[in-house]
Amino acid sequence: MDAERLRLPFADRTEAGVLLGVRLRALGLTRPVVLALPRGGVQVAAPVADLLDGALDVLVTRKIGYPPQPELGVGAVAEGGEPVFDLGLIERLGMTGGELAEVVEAERAELDRRVAVYRRGRPLPELRGAEVVVVDDGLATGGTARAALRAVRRRGPGRLVLAVPVGAAETVAALREEADDVVVLAEPVGFRAVGQWYLHFGQLSDDDVLDVLSKPR
């Protein structure tokens, strides 16, 4: 499905989630566990879970930023997993993984805080042997998605699917080795940031995430 047929940009994350859920039906999944990457992925994942008759939960991830320029991601970490670094970028920056130890520690602390807020003491659903769909609102560099997929893979799912509405073609291709299936509605030319492909792409709060998770499905 190309960008023209989709009439990009998407109106919002909910519309994107509905379209993504319809596409995912073709995989023949049976009541999968749908894991959203908060915060933005939660609004996409909610209609996906509804359309697939799946169980919705979150898998918390955190970007690991380059200390002099924190918005530049050099890696990511997901709950239950080990940090995943962009080794090529780190080498170009003249750094080592050890130099990022303080950043990793701080991001793990924030990850733990969000897990406590979002899950309120509940463990992750049992994933061994399950069909699992990891959902985000888009793929730019793919660092957090890669960390999430590796963390889920360690739990032994029967089938692991990555699903996003939009992604950079190079990133999508690189992540196909991390999942059994990768479902992306559009890989538009001129991809600079995920937000450019949404008409409404506001930042979400913890309360927004909790509101989606609390709704019966």
How confident is the model at residue 6, as a pLDDT? 77
d(CA 6, CA 10): 8
* pTM, entire model: 0.94
Task: Assign 99 a pLDDT band (cuts: 50, 70, 90).
Answer: confident
Domain shared by 57 and 67, yes or no: no
What is the per-residue pLDDT across 118-128, written as a single tens digit (0 to 9) for each? Answer: 998 899 999 99
Name the token pair of 101.
């130890």
Domain shared by 154 and 177, yes or no: yes
Domain shared by 53 and 132, yes or no: yes
Domain shared by 201 and 176, yes or no: yes
Sheet with 181-186, strands from edge to edge, namely 55-58, 33-36, 131-135, 159-166, 181-186
How confident is the model at residue 95, as a pLDDT? 86
- Of 82, 62, 66, 61, give the one whose Cα is nearest residue 150: 82
How confident is the model at residue 216, as a pLDDT? 81
Report how many domains make up the chain: 2
Name the token pair of 202.
């506001």
Residue 131's CATH number: 3.40.50.2020
- Taking a C-beta distance cutoff of 8 angstroms, is the pair 11, 199 a contact? yes
Domain shared by 52 and 68, yes or no: no
**Percent of the chain at pLDDT above 70?**
97
Q: Which ranges of 38-100 does DSSP label H, i.e. alpha helix?
A: 40-52, 87-92
Name the token pair of 107.
């991001």
How confident is the model at residue 97, as a pLDDT? 65
Domain shared by 50 and 135, yes or no: yes
The domain boundary residue, chosen from 81, 98, 117: 117
The domain boundary residue, chosen from 91, 117, 143: 117
- In which domain, by residue range, is 107 found? 63-117
- Taking a C-beta distance cutoff of 8 angstroms, is the pair 51, 27 a contact? no
